Structure 1
Amino acid sequence: MNPMRMRMDPLTLLRDFTIRGDLDKIVRLNGNFRFGEDYTFPCSLETAYRSTKGNRYTLETLVHYIKNHHLKHTEYFQNTLALGIPSVTLPDRKPILNYLQGILSTTDSIEYLPEQPSIPDEPSSHQQHSQFPNSDEIITELESPPLDFISMIRTAEKPLKDRESLLECKNRDFYSVLVAATKREEERQRAESHQRKDGLVAKSRLLGSADDFGGDEMGYDHQTPKPKMHLKIGEGVPIILVPSAFQTLITIYNVKDFLEDGVYVPTDVKVKAMKGAKPDCVTVQKKLSRDRAVTAYEVRDKPSALKPEDWDRVVAVFVLGKDWQFKDWPFKDHVEIFNKITGFFMRFEDDSIESAKTVKQWNVKIISISKNKRHQDRAAALEVWDRLEEFVRSRSHS
């Protein structure tokens, strides 16, 4: 008698049929696999091969795998998913293939159930007849096996997603997720930037952020929105004046690049790139540090257009170094101007001393930048912000 037939082990039979090249003789009939003309086993029957995950592979899983092992794992997995068949895991593919093809004689993953009866080497005719019935009897018995409810449940299960399937999903990667998240964050920051540039929003932030100008000392009660007294720097957004002449380094065209981004761009370059008419007012905020950017400033270059009450809001001026810049200003002299307004004079570091000769007589902060080393602009811009914020704090407390 054929020893394979005697053992009635579906895993060993599948290995024998694989080695002989008889896989085409394993035919599925309803819920069973028929091995040639001798044996029939339920498709859901658990074999002795235990996966690395701990469960035993069903006969259906192993038969389908050995007939489709040539497929790449992603294609194989999608195929099993579509058919509702549990798949062989990626780590188990090679060991199972080597065992079933006869390359390995055995493996630690094969665990036979202890209750399987041992087969005597030389059974008597009576024992042989009682323990190993003829093929017709075997088929009859195995076609109506005892109900295995666990196997029935597992056969009905259709796994959709697990960690392995997610990693092996076609045309998907985690980089695209990162790119999408980064894009959403950039759009959010851009939207907030547009809001900060709105003068009305800037004004509301200024009036609603007393902490940045000294908290309660500014005259605000944190429990009531009404101010207790007028701001020392005037109601509204503080004003920074810049020259309208092109011979100065800082103008209304490039002041935003310098103060917000810490980059000096020549005025003529900005004018050539500008679309539309020259702006009458530009709003700037400090974005060069981790401080909350809640204080906004209006930058203007037409002092003659200011109303009397607007002069109370002027906190800084970029000077040309020429007396005529202050013509018709509502102050009696330079001393009064630079006591009430902080002054800045921008120059290239290699300019002659004569260019700053007049300015040195005034209470003005001289800021030097390089003609070519743009990476140094940030430090110069921060120098302006430090001086300006210190001045605003001292003026608010006076």
Structure 2
Amino acid sequence: MTDAISLLRQFTVENKEYTSDNDRFIFGDLAYPKDIKTNYLVYGTGKDGTPRDYYTLESIVFLLKNVELQHANYVKTAAEKGISAISRPDRKELLSYLTGQTNTADRIDRNAPIDVVAMQRPLQVKRPAEDPRLDPTKIARLEDDDFQKLKDRIEKKLEATTKEMTANQIRPLSGALSAEAILKLRAKFRATARDKIVDFKENEDQLETVAETQPVTADTFEVLQRERTWRNRTTVLQSTGKNFAKNIFLILNSIKAKEEGEQKQELLAAQRSPTRDLTVRAPVEGYSRYNQERFVPRDDTDEFKIDIHGSYHGLTLKTVTEGVQPNKLTSTTNVVPKPIPDKVDVPVSKRVSRTPIIVIPPALTSLITRYNCKELLEDLKYISTDEGKASGIKRDGDILIQRKKGNLTVPYRITDDPVRLTKQDWDERVVAVFAQGPAWQFKGWPWSGNPVEIFQKIKAYHVKWSQLKTDANIAKWSVQLIELDQNKRHLDCARLRTFWDSLDAFIAKHKPYLRY
């Protein structure tokens, strides 16, 4: 059975309209008195032996209708109208539950008794205009007649069942069987009942018969008329908790983008490495006037096919006179050596850095400078520029900070000289920039030095005192403010953590291949 506060929450979440008259609230076909007690426990009751007290439906509805009022004005208005006000500790949790932001509330007492008697009967559907209106006394008489007809029908079924049973079918077991035989039959029935499969059809018929034979009173009849199915075997298995799919898919997409970014970086590095030049170069020979004669034909002996380098040494006269060609001796000319490949010089490709870069203002009037950026971003504590100078630590060139993230440390490069950065650094590694306010800070920067276009590609921040007014240019640009208190240094850590959280989200979305 639906309680009043659950029905009110359903109508509020689904933006359904409910009406009210002098002494009750009407929710569709159900109505509740205004002074009915809900199961929402009043703060401070039910503890240390104090009796439990619950808010009325009228108090909760009045809070919903005046939620825009401040609590003091709300209490004053409720007192003027004679309505008990909701206490301040219960206000926020009760509104979150009624508006659907939470599925339950800690102050709801599930064991609280529901005032069923106080709940009104369902409103009757209006009759068509052509139907005659019945007199109230006649309506009551018709309801009594219907109840009497139902009672008579049940009694007839009981009488018919009794008449069908004959005397031959009924016999006393005690006279035909002994006590031992009855015990044996009972044990046998129990043993076979464990293995017997009950027919659902027979069981259903038996349940219907039992339901029909049970006596129906006026109270039972009224309850059955208003009974509604709240949960069944399907809805009880459906979870009503929060849906974590959005957060889980966000984490999985971040991991996927990070892995794809690393693979893309390795592919770019492989493409940038120059192709190896494996061309074999022959050694350069010195000048020799004998070697050059190899390429010039001899005009005086070419037509006679005379080998001027040949010899008859070791041949007999018979061999020469018979015209046998002597074996040609190996030419004594210098044999051209095979070219020996030189050692191939393969240039080693430069490793691409994955360290993120943060650009800070060069002016010492900014709240973040090269003299305090390490304490501000690494230690999450603000110190002035003068204190950083007085420490005596030299900070020339770029500054490398180690951001602590759990049990790991992640390096970040801090620079106040953006002119030294290459185009590749701007496109791949620069993740954040601290804006001071004047537009001349971005002179000589990429994207024509336009702050609007720069802040679309790089996350922008501005550090300011919370007591001072925001700069006009900063207010126009897409810049996230980091407001520090001039005197409360214990608040620095919490406010600077928001900087790292937003920067991590930006890197995960736009440059996941970097270390962060």
Report the TM-score range of the alignment, normalised by the length of the smaller protein: 0.3 to 0.5
Structure richer in helix, relative to its length:
1
Max radius of gyration: which structure? Answer: 2
User: Which fold has the larger relative contact order, with Cα–Cα distance below 8 Å and residues 6 or more apart in sequence?
Assistant: 1
TM-score by length of 1: 0.41
Q: TM-score, normalised by structure 2?
A: 0.32
